[in-house]
Amino acid sequence: MSFELPKLPYALDALEPHISKKTLEFHYGKHHQAYINNLNNLVAGTKFENATLETIVKEAEGAIFNNGAQVWNHTFYFTSFSPSGAKKPSGKLADAIDKQFGTFSAFIDEFSKAAVTLFGSGWIWLVKNPDGTLNTLQESNAGNPLRKGLLPVLTCDVWEHAYYLDYQNKRPDYIQAFWNVIDWNILSGRF
């Protein structure tokens, strides 16, 4: 199986001013592309040669896991955005958020705090547990909750490459901007 860079559902400048065109040119065009190229090179001649991406994320180790998970994570991240998406959850996801966190606002606070405080590179996740409840999760580097049997609903990339051109050291400002481009209708579809 040869993995390919998936098309972005929006133009590179569509998320301005929250995430700049320049950032997406590098983040999508260089970083995400490189993980795809690396993955294709690494799985050749191994037991993962014809594996699905999800299998790679769940079962691989080392460089194959790092690159495979980063491919999965970035696709999930970029496809969570919309220039004019739903700004709040509705339906079952909204109910689950209120049940778990009290209010939507309290969820935003908790997720944002987790995003600001993760030390080093990594991802913050909103996941659905097998029993239907929700949790926020911090994962370092390429960490992905599929490995723990959890269902990803939302992710935020806090590797510095995700925000450094636009926000430099000001990660909290990036997190605030992140909420402006998340499309909750897309997330509801995952829940």
Partner 1 sequence: MIATKFELPKLDYAYDALEPYIDAKTMEIHHSKHHAGYTNNLNNAIPGTAYEGKEVEELFMNAKTLPAAIRNNGGGFYNHNLFWKVMSPNGGGLPGGNLADAINRDFGSFDKFKELFSNAAATRFGSGWAWLLVNNGELKITSTPNQDNPLMDVADVRGTPILGLDVWEHAYYLKYQNRRPEYIAAFWNVINWEEVSGRFIDSAKINH
The binding site for partner 1 (CB under 8 A) comprises 26, 30-31, 34, 63, 66, 119-122, 140-142, 159-161, 164-165, 168-169
Name which of 60 and 187 has its Cβ closer to partner 1. Answer: 60
At closest approach, how far in Å is the CB of 36 from partner 1? 13
Beta carbons of 51 and 43 less than 8 angstroms apart: yes
Compute the least distance from the CB of residue 131 to partner 1, in Å: 30
103: exposed, middle or buried (C-beta count within 10 Å: 0-12, 13-18, 19+)? exposed
Nearer to partner 1, 22 or 88 (CB): 22
> Which residue lies nearer to partner 1 by CB, 147 or 161?
161
Question: Considering the complex, what minimum distance in angstroms separates the CB of residue 175 from partner 1?
Answer: 16
Q: How far is CA 58 from CA 3, 65, 118, 144, in A?
A: 17, 8, 23, 8
Cβ-based nearer residue to partner 1, 28 or 178: 28
Whose Cβ is closer to partner 1: residue 1's or residue 63's? Answer: 63
Q: State whether the Cα torsion 166-172-177-181 is positive or negative.
A: positive
Write the CA distances from 115 to 30, 32, 51, 58, integer angstroms: 23, 20, 31, 23
Eight-class DSSP state of 39: H
Dihedral sign for Cα atoms in the order 119, 30, 74, 57? negative
Residue 121: CB minimum distance to partner 1, A: 4
For residue 142, the minimal CB distance to partner 1 (Å) is 8
